[in-house]
Amino acid sequence: MSSRGPKPKPIELKKIQGNPGHRPLNLSQPKPKVPVKRPRGMGGLQKKFWNEYAPELERLQILTGVDSAAFRLMADHFAIAVQAVRELQAEGLTVEAKEGIKKNPLAQIFKDNSLAFKAFASEFGLTPSSRTRLKMPAELEQLSLAEQLFQAVVEVVDADADTGD
C-alpha cells in the first residue's frame, strides 16, 4: 500500500500552526474523550518523563487517552537512550573485541533510540523544527517543550556525573 504525499497532521496541530495550507479543516475528525492515564509498569525515567510532559500535551489537546501507547513508547525510547549514554560514558566509545578495537554497541543503541524518540517527538509537535511551525492561540501559552525534553537528558547525565554513577 503506497501513500500519497506527507502524513496528515492532527487537526489540533493544524490549528496551532494557523492552518498553513488554508485547506478546510476536517471538523469531523475523531476527538477521543478517553482520559489520559499513565500506563502501569513504567520505570523511573519513563514515569518522570510522562509526569513532566503528558499534562502539558493534554492541556494543548495534542495528547489524548488513545495516544497513551505512542507516548509511552516515546518515554521508553527516552529512557533507553539515557541509559545507553550513561553506560557509554562509563565504558567509552570503543570496546575490545577479538577482531580488535571496535565501536561500542551502546553507541548504536543510543542512536536507534534517539532517532525513534525524535520521530515520536515530531508526531507530538515537540522537536525544534516542528515547534517553529506552531502558533499558539492566545489562551495557550507558548511552549518550550523540545528544549526541556533534550535538556532532561543533559540533566540526568550531569546528575550522574556529579554523583559518580
142 — pLDDT class (breaks 50, 70, 90): very low
User: Which residue has cell 489524548?
Assistant: 64
What does DSSP say about strands 100-103 and 94-97: parallel, antiparallel, or unpaired?
antiparallel
pLDDT score recorded for residue 143: 43
User: How much is the mean pLDDT over the chain?
Assistant: 82
DSSP bridge partners of 94: 103
Mean pLDDT of 54-66: 89
pLDDT score recorded for residue 128: 75
Instruction: Take residue 111 and report the three cell numbers written for it.
Output: 542512536
Separation of CA 118 from chain center? 6
pTM metric for this prediction: 0.68
User: Which residue has cell 525513534?
Assistant: 116
pLDDT score recorded for residue 86: 96
| CA-to-CA dists, residue 122 to 26, 61, 92, 145, 146, angstroms | 21, 16, 30, 12, 10
Instruction: Take residue 39 and report the three cell numbers written for it.
Output: 500506563
Q: Domains of the chain: which residue ranges?
A: 43-163
DSSP bridge partners of 95: 102
Mean pLDDT of 58-70: 89
Instruction: Take residue 77 and report the three cell numbers written for it.
Output: 525510547
Report the C-alpha gap between 143 and 146 in whole angstroms: 8
